[in-house]
Amino acid sequence: MATVSVKGVSKLFGTFRALDDVSIEFDDGGFYGLLGPSGSGKTTLLRLIAGFEFPDMGAITIGGEAVERLPAEKRDVGMMFQSYALFPNMNVFDNVAFGLTVRKLPRSEIRTRVGEALELVELGGLETRRPHQLSGGQRQRVALARAIVFRPRVLLLDEPLSALDKALRTGMQIELKRIQREIGITTIFVTHDQEEALTLSDRVGVLRDGRLIQEGAPRDLYERPKSAFVATFLGDANLLEGIVEGAAIRLDEGPLVRTTAPLPAIGSRVTVAVRPERITVSPEAQTSGGEHNELGARVEEAIFAGNSLTYMLSRGGRKLRVFAQNTGSEPVSADTPVRLVWAASDTIVVEA
């Protein structure tokens, strides 16, 4: 296995800057998620690491070796494609064995290793099936087995679960994590699904317009987003604007909002974000005050979704959103004035 390092990498397609001075260290044996909307450059970065494209600037190393000019076939990098890219003219065994046969390994060893790989992805017994005879989930497992069977230094996954239906996806997330841990391979994956990124990764990098805008452990990113973009792209957030006033923020609409986060200089404009699940909808004013924040709002709609409730609220012209667990109590009905309550420590200050 190996560490992967990307330093100051830029990639242009014509005049379009797909990647702009991106630097990331991928830990040995880590599971790194590259998250971003489409066109953010995350797939380009993956293709640069795979060797299908070469950077216009910057360096890429795998296990300390400079690889940015090495073509894909010499990089020893396993890749699983979004389309799975199984070879339709070969059966499951030959698909998985492909990386071993091109390396001219002895037949007996190929047999053993393909057997082990198929065992690992729980597909033993399907060796003679053709790709078109497999279900979507099975195809994905074959693609994964094929990408790891030759023991590459790095495993790259391009939107690994996006082609599966939701029920299958959750199962495969757990599977993928188990397999990755079992073989301990450095894994980098690309996704536009924030939940997938948070579930699978040890570290997440958020890309936007070809730039890395924030990276860290999933919890770090979720609890301490540095920008409104990250706050809303990773999960949901209610955004409020105001000006720093002492140790709190004076919202444009008037009320004061407390936070435990460090604040910029007094008088600076900031945006604060509050996660919808951290807010409680309360019918009456809380008297305890202190470390709490409280805002008045009006319920517009309460959307029932079984185990949870989503309140759509309005405050002045602003739309707000609150998630509540279904605890069995009667939901607050529409058009009711309510108080929104949350702890000062749940007020996230993002860049203005």
The least distance separating other proteins from the CB of residue 77, rounded to whole angstroms, comes to 6
b/e 204-217 (16+ beta carbons within 10 angstroms → b): bbbbbebebbbbbe
For residue 53, CA distances in Å to 64, 67, 314 come to 20, 12, 48
Angle between helices 166-183 and 136-148 (to 10 degrees): 20
- The nearest distance, CB 53 to other proteins, in angstroms, is 11
In angstroms, the CA 285 to CA 288 distance is 9
How many separate helices (H) and strands (E) can be counted in the chain? 8, 20
- Closer by beta carbon to other proteins, 77 or else 198: 77
CB nearer to other proteins: give 75 or 208.
75
Shortest separation between residue 70's beta carbon and other proteins, angstroms: 12
Least gap, CB of 48 to other proteins (angstroms): 13
Of residues 155 and 273, the one with the C-beta less far from other proteins? 155
State the nearest-atom distance from the C-beta of 117 to other proteins, in Å: 13
Going from the C-alpha of 329 to that of each of 88, 313, 325, 332, the distances in angstroms are 55, 19, 10, 9
Pairing of strands 248-251, 4-13: unpaired
DSSP string of 5-66? EEEEEEEEETTEEEEEEEEEEEPTT-EEEEE--TTSSHHHHHHHHHTSS--SEEEEEETTEE
Nearer to other proteins, 83 or 162 (CB): 83
State in angstroms the smallest separation of the CB of 329 from other proteins. Answer: 52
d(Cα 176, Cα 157) in Å, to the nearest integer? Answer: 10
User: Which residue ranges make up the site for other proteins (CB under 8 A)?
Assistant: 50-52, 71-79, 81, 83, 85, 87-89, 98-99, 102-103, 146-147, 150, 156
Q: Which residue has the tokens 């071993």?
A: 100
Backbone angles phi, psi at 89, to 5 degrees: -90, 5
CB of 158 to other proteins, least distance (A): 9
CB 56 within 8 A of CB 11: yes
Nearer to other proteins among residue 77 and residue 320 (C-beta): 77
**Measured from the CB atom, is 152 or 218 closer to other proteins?**
152
* CB of 60 or CB of 272, closer to other proteins: 60
